[in-house]
Amino acid sequence: MQDRVMDGEALAAFLGREFPQVAADFAIEELTADGIVMRLRVAERHLRPGGTVSGPSLFALADVAVYLALLSRIGPVALAVTTSASVDFLRKPEAGRDLIGAARLLKLGRRLAVGDVLIRSEGAAAVVARASMTYAIPPRP
Amino acid sequence: MQDRVMDGEALAAFLGREFPQVAADFAIEELTADGIVMRLRVAERHLRPGGTVSGPSLFALADVAVYLALLSRIGPVALAVTTSASVDFLRKPEAGRDLIGAARLLKLGRRLAVGDVLIRSEGAAAVVARASMTYAIPPRP
Amino acid sequence: MQDRVMDGEALAAFLGREFPQVAADFAIEELTADGIVMRLRVAERHLRPGGTVSGPSLFALADVAVYLALLSRIGPVALAVTTSASVDFLRKPEAGRDLIGAARLLKLGRRLAVGDVLIRSEGAAAVVARASMTYAIPPRP
Amino acid sequence: MQDRVMDGEALAAFLGREFPQVAADFAIEELTADGIVMRLRVAERHLRPGGTVSGPSLFALADVAVYLALLSRIGPVALAVTTSASVDFLRKPEAGRDLIGAARLLKLGRRLAVGDVLIRSEGAAAVVARASMTYAIPPRP
């Protein structure tokens, strides 16, 4: 896999600058050998009746995690766009806990990148959701 | 396909009662022979840099559309949950226009329901996103 | 959408020439405004215990249908490859009948094409399977 | 996760008995803590022009691997059926090598089971394909 070109600080700064509406929802926990671990700070606005976290919030965590895993390798200049997502919702998250998404890049090609992510309640082993995401990478000079 | 058991008014009331956080984002345009047409009232909070509508917002429109198409057949008592989603993001939406999602139910079984949806900018022919959604239906007496 | 550049005869010839192992399994029923209708000639080798058609056979029908819908627009020179597939298996097919897959192209971009397909038993209304397929298109001169 | 109720020998016997058409294509390499590793014995009939392994063959490997991972936990009596599949094709496999699919169960519920699988050429690190599969489990007494 390509070397990392952005560290956690650079990724967090990018997130805050480019996605100010949602940056506060997320925190980078750790850069890993093949990806990233991110936290969704679960708040009232992410919940649905019964206390479950909404599908769009889980989607957002999956998307931002794989996206930052990708940017850590290709840098902030590239405007990658999500072209497809497949999400399985497996279990209701634990009440009152943040969600932790562990993403890994499976492919980083010239034009397409693919990664997947497992989402769990913080401190729990059971998987709440699984997602795979594809990004189109614009031509690079 | 099973007969319809909720009309547009009943579905809108259900949405407002059960999902008060997001009900104002959506409007039911039309019930169709095999599904429903819904509108996402695109507002600042749905946008991303460059004016595109965020992935989670498109996901939310797809999910609510197929979900209400399902409830129109099984009624509001059933607590159906989304078990999986597959979304393709095809084009950037037109700036300043609402999004229209046309959903159809493809299967309504005893335990699983599946539908798909095409999302377009209002008044445009090009498809902005395509999604298919699966729901688990709890056992009914 | 781009004009059609291959007709049914040209597509059938392409299929026979490039995919001789499987060409006899499939027949082109009809070119449609936005896609193609194809038949899987169901034979013993496509069946599983209980008489259902195997998942790989349904996958193959979906793939070939969207692929030929794409080639009908970009021509036989382009070497497009399947990059992702999402398939929902909805019902057991009718015993002893061929399967009919109706595919439509939803996007034909410079680098990616996306289509979906509904598969039914011949003469039946119920959908046996739904699939969406993405293809990467090599750079064209 | 539930304890294992079938070992490799029992799974291989089940495969040979229930899926005689394809059993010879596959071999069980190893039962793992949360799944199974399986081999596709790549032969001429799995290939496409250019020497790549066909999409349906990769689909079949993914399906059989997650399916046997599931049966190893619920036993051979249950007639589980594939309800959905999402597959990403990432790279062309290495010529002349078998394919190895490592599957893990992510959820084993009363009614639904979900697993995913990474497929690689034997001895290679790069991922050829990624898939996630969902199965409906019939009611158990």
Question: ipTM score here?
Answer: 0.95
Please check the confidence at residue A38 and state whether its pLDDT lies above 80: yes
Q: How many secondary structure helices (H) and strands (E) does chain C include?
A: 2, 6
Contact C88, C106 (CB under 8 A): no
Which of A90, A107, A114 is facing D106, going by the closest CB pair?
A: A90
Choose the mutation target among C81, C84, C135 for the interface with A, i.e. most A CBs under 10 Å. C84
| Banded pLDDT at C141 (limits 50, 70, 90) | low
What would the two tokens of residue D22 be? 């394809």
The pLDDT value recorded for residue C114 is 98
Measure C34 CA to nearest chain D CA, in Å.
24
B54 to chain D, any CB pair closer than 8 A? The answer is no
Q: Would you tell me how many other CB atoms lie within 10 Å of the CB of residue C55?
A: 23
| Banded pLDDT at A79 (limits 50, 70, 90) | confident
Residue of D77, D80, D141 whose CA lies nearest to D108:
D80
- Average pLDDT of chain B is 94
Residue of B12, B4, B16, B19 whose CA lies nearest to B38:
B12
Mean pLDDT (whole number) for A113-132: 98
The edge-to-edge listing of strands for the beta sheet with B99-108 is A26-32, A35-40, A99-108, A112-121, A127-136, A81-89, B81-89, B127-136, B112-121, B99-108, B35-40, B26-31
A81 to chain C, any CB pair closer than 8 A? The answer is no
| Bridge partners (DSSP) listed for residue C31 | C36
The rounded distance, in Å, linking the Cα atoms of B70 and B112 is 10
Choose the mutation target among A83, A91, A106, A114 for the interface with D, i.e. most D CBs under 10 Å. A106
Beta strand extents in A20-72 (DSSP E only): 26-32, 35-40
| Residue C45: strand, helix, or coil | helix
Please check the confidence at residue C85 and state whether its pLDDT lies above 70: yes
C34 to chain D, any CB pair closer than 8 A? The answer is no
Buried b (16+ CB within 10 A) or exposed e, A25-38: bbbbbebeeebbbb
| Banded pLDDT at B139 (limits 50, 70, 90) | confident
Task: Please give the residue that has the higher pLDDT: either C138 or A10.
Answer: A10
The pLDDT value recorded for residue C78 is 64
A77 to chain C, any CB pair closer than 8 A? The answer is no
- Average pLDDT of chain C is 94
Paired sense of beta strands C112-121 and D112-121, if any: unpaired
pLDDT in tens, B34-91: 999 999 999 999 998 778 999 999 999 999 999 999 999 999 876 899 999 999 999 9
C136 to chain B, any CB pair closer than 8 A? The answer is no
pTM tops 0.90:
yes
The rounded distance, in Å, linking the Cα atoms of A64 and A69 is 8
Half-sphere exposure (CA, 13 Å, Cβ side) for C69? 33
The rounded distance, in Å, linking the Cα atoms of C101 and C117 is 6
| Bridge partners (DSSP) listed for residue C53 | C47
What's CA B137's distance to the chain center, in Å? Answer: 17
Cβ-based contacts of D134 with chain A (< 8 Å): 88
Which of D107, D116, D132 is facing A91, going by the closest CB pair?
A: D107
Please check the confidence at residue D57 and state whether its pLDDT lies above 90: yes
Which of C48, C49, C59 is facing D59, going by the closest CB pair?
A: C59
CB contact under 8 A, B112 and D86: no
- Alpha-carbon Rg for chain D, nearest whole angstrom, is 14
What is the number of CB-based contacts under 8 A between chain C and chain D?
A: 59
Please check the confidence at residue C106 and state whether its pLDDT lies above 80: yes
What is the number of CB-based contacts under 8 A between chain A and chain D?
A: 37
